[in-house]
Every structure is written in structure tokens, then in C-alpha cells.
Homo-oligomer: A and B are copies of this chain.
């Protein structure tokens, strides 16, 4: 009563009974009774609006889950409601989400995870001993022997040791130090965290971050969030999306006019472009970074996904060390890996790691401090990362099954990559570079000028218009090239090479051709 009266005295707004009037406090109810004669006021202006919000966040773009994906969701709902379409399901080829496309998890990984989750199963005879051994090792390193405890901000110690041992094996003996390993919430988290520490300055001394075009749009999004300057270098489509150091030179020189280029990001194997860098190219890039004093970010999440027999994955870390001490003790490098890609495809667990080389000790302290604000990466994701880097070895009970599953997934991916490439190259108006690695095709599409005009009439980029039509007419959801960046006047889309096997490719080819016939109607 006192409260209600006070509100009235203060000239407070009317409080009429809501639909939950029965549960209103007596004070609120009384206030309502006193005040309900006044007309209800109209809704006030919001505090948080497009105008008032953080402009850097507003500027963020992320096409992989952008308007085309929202449209795909709407079409799926329409199909569920029985609305007739020229297709019966939406094929979500917009994102590298292997298990959503039917890829089965690696049995050993899930067995260890289940044992860690519910340790009563450690007594069950239906789990192999090597899986139990892994689970015990992980649990012993967790507070209270539980995945439910926070880990150290940098990640569980023994998992960082396993990651370091893996890198050492992978790189043929170049040693890795667990102190340089930071477990992360997927690779995206590591990339955005290190960029967050790196950016500084205002005006002409704002940090410039060099990224490939086409790029994976996490980079442009984080650069925008951090108000850094995006410095584009173009991959050479005519040359199988190779990275040319002369193009890096051009880009950095031009950037110096308006910002302070400080970071060079490399994606190898390439996303969305599917190329695998040669050892020589990596040497050139490292030398360039050394020369130009650039901090190197090597996004190597597709390191297990190399399909072309002519290509091999070389880690930046290994090449850096092989180039000798001037490089290996000077070039600052952060490289990233993830549980989401490779043969595991465990995207949902959000596991990943970052290895840093030549990071200043004081910066390591800053990094741990920054990471500690979010407490720790998901411990289940850390456990998944452990199994990725510490799989069964010959002689262990689970080795044979693990090996068979791994080879089957990678073999299928290689076959599908080849199929996809061939398929696209059979369609008039599409050109696809050889798919050497990663999981995507980024074919070029030649859009007739009348179709470009039609797109402009719809206020859409021509490739967005193309992808939207493709989705509406065939149910195939792909991401327009403009979401990744492309040379002015060229058009592409990114397509996940994980389509359901068994004749689907032929259906797909039929649809593409059909679609191109439709487009042909717009030809000059």
C-alpha cells in the first residue's frame, strides 16, 4: 500500500492488471486499482535499437548463416506443413557440418566421451580397455575427477600435453611445448581471442589484418567487431586459388597508406577455396611475414582433409622451424585446429586448440587473463580434442575399428570431392578448380547479364539472387560468393561436398542443368 502510494506520488506510470493478475502482489494489485482509470500509454521507444546499438557489431556480416539460411529454414517449415515444392527436402550444403549430413561419429571417440560423462560405465564389460584407459587419464586430470568441474583457463594439463605430443609427431619431431597450447571453444574462439589481443590504435595506426579473398567470414566478422582494418589479398583463381607473395606485397604496401598492417591470416587447406598450399608457398609466406614484421595466424583446421594425391599438408610451424633459427626464434605464429572437421566432424562439442610460437611471455600472461574471464573452454570439447590427438595405436584393442572408420570417412570425402568437381565442370556456365583439400567447392558461375539485371531489380547481389533461386527451385542451400569475397565482376558460391551418396549426384546434376536452362532464358 505504502509502495503503491509512493509510486502515485512520484507520478509513476499506470499499472493495470496483466493477464497474470491473480498472481500479482497485493501492492501491485492495489496500485493497479488506483491507477487503472488512466489510458494505457503507447509503447515507448526502445533503448536498444539499430540506431543506438554498437555500430561495429551492426557492421558484422556472416553469410554462412545469413539470409539464405534463414530462407532455407522457412522452406523446411513449409515442406513440413505440406506445401508442395519441386523437391522434398532442403540439402544444407551451406556449412561444414558432417554429422548433420549423416556422417557417423568415430566409435572410439564417443566411447571415451561416454565413459568420461558417466564413469559408472568404467565397470561395464561392453567398453574396450583402451577407451577406459583414455577416459581414466582425462578424468584424473579434471578437478574432482569430473567433466563437470572448471578446467584451468588454458585447458586441462594432460590434454595440452597430448596436443603437444601430437604436434611433435605430426611435424616429424619439431618439438611442441604444452605451455604454448591453449585449448579453445572450437577454432573460432582461438582466432577471435588472439585477434582481440592484437588489435590496437586509432586512425592511421589502426591494426590492419590481412586476410585472403575469398575468406572464411569469421575473419571479416571479428575484424569488424574489433574495429580493425580488413586488408584483402586475392587468391589466384586462374592458378587453382594459389597464394602469390607478390599479391601479399601489393596488399601490404597499399594498406600502409591508411593503417598499420600487423597480422597476416592464412587458411590452409583453403576455406572456401579447397586449395592446399605447397611447401614453397608456405616458405615464401613465412619469409614475407618475417620481412614485413607480421604476426602470422595459420588456420589449419582442415589439416586432415587433403584429397589430391599431388598435395600434402605442411604445417606452418614445421616449415618455420625448418627455415632455421632466424625464423623459428623470431616469427610470431598462432596456429589453430579443431574437433569439427577432419574425419571426426565433431562440430557440436566446440573443441579446438591454438599453438603459439614466439609469443612474448608477458603476452602469454595477458592471454591467460583474458581467457580466464570466460573461465574455461567446455571440458567435454577438451576431452574430444584429446581423443582426436591421442587416437588408438596399432596393438590397441580399438585400433582396427578406429582405423577402418577413419579411412572410410576420409575416403568418402575424397570421392565426394572428386565427384563434386566433375559434376560442376559438366554444367555449362560453371567452372570449378580442382578440389585438393578441405570440404568445399567454390565454383565460379557465369551469370548472364539479363540475370544480373534481374538481380539488381530485386536489390540483390547477382550471386545471392542465383543462390536464392537455386534454393527455391531445387532445395539446395549454398552460400553466395559475396559472403566470402570475390574479385569484382566474378560470381561464385560455396558448396559443401558432403551430399548424400547413392544417385543424388545425378539428381543434382539434373537440377543444376535444368537451372542453367532456366537462366539461359535470360541470356542476351
Contacts and interface: CB of A to CB of B under 8 A. Distances in A.
A308 interface: no
Most buried by B among A31, A47, A291, A321: A47
Contact of A118 (B113, B144, B279, B376): B113
By DSSP majority rule, is chain A's interface helix, strand, loop, or mixed?
loop
Interface string A447-490: 00000000000000000000000000000000000000000000
A518 interface: no
Nearest to A156: B348
A324 B378 contact: no
Contacts of A27: 280, 283
Nearest to A189: B374
Contact of A144 (B31, B61, B103, B153): B103
Contact of A57 (B24, B345, B370): B370
A23 B172 contact: yes
A140 to B, nearest CB: 13
Contact of A100 (B118, B144, B321): B144
B360 A46 contact: yes
A153 to B, nearest CB: 6
A489 to B, nearest CB: 27
Interface stretch (A7-15, A159-167, A233-241, A505-513): A7-15
Given A118-B110, A149-B347, A366-B58, A332 B372 contact: no
A345 B102 contact: no
A295 B222 CA distance: 25
Given A348-B378, A363-B53, A218 B373 contact: yes
Contacts of A50: 360, 362-363, 366
Contacts of A373: 60, 62, 188, 192, 217-218, 221-222, 225
B186 A374 contact: yes
A323 to B, nearest CB: 6
Contacts of A372: 62, 64-65
Contacts of A150: 95, 97, 100, 347-348
A57 B376 contact: no
A504 interface: no
Interface in A352-408: 358-360, 362-363, 366, 369-370, 372-381
B65 A148 contact: no
A43 B149 contact: no
A515 interface: no
A449 to B, nearest CB: 32
Contacts of A290: 13
Given A25-B322, A54-B196, A97-B150, 18 more contacts: A3-B280, A14-B326, A20-B173, A23-B174, A31-B323, A35-B324, A43-B330, A48-B360, A53-B197, A53-B363, A60-B369, A62-B373, A64-B372, A98-B148, A100-B146, A110-B117, A147-B348, A149-B347
